[in-house]
Amino acid sequence: MYNDYEESFYYDKLSSISSDVSGEAIGLGLGLGVGLISTIISGLLFLIARIDILSSSLLGLLFYLLTYRFEWNEPVYIIGVIAIVSVSMMLQHIFKVFRILYGIFTCAAVSLFVSVFIGYSTDSNMYKTMAICFVVTAVWTTISWKCIIRK
């Protein structure tokens, strides 16, 4: 009888310790997951609020996507993207024509990315999704530029 009591005591103690550790691990995982998701969402909201940075970054991404098969050195890509982003930002802030051109480019790029990430069942659904994303991005670009210019 003494052995049974002793075994159940140790067994319960081990299970309580392992449940505490597993609870802490789950809490840590949830905290890190929520932190990562909130960081991504805040970054996306920043890019949406600053449409000039988003459109310049999309152009830099396009440069990388078109040239990554050449297997250039990493500094070439870094310098190229920095140059593209900085020149794009200057052009957008100086000339209204470039704001419009970059806005159209951003609308097209966002509608293509969204149709790829969301997916579609038929071609008509793809075109509807792309049209909705294009219009929403155009409206958002107009609002964003009005807010940027006021500052």
The DSSP secondary structure of 33-78, one letter per residue, reads: HHHHHHHHHHHHHHHHH-HHHHHHHHHHHHHHHHHGGG---HHHHH
Answer yes or no: are the C-beta atoms of 58 and 89 closer than 8 Å: no
pTM: 0.69
pLDDT in tens, 86-105: 999 999 999 999 999 999 99
Tell me the average pLDDT across 25-49.
Answer: 88
pLDDT in tens, 50-90: 899 999 999 999 999 899 888 889 999 999 999 999 999 99
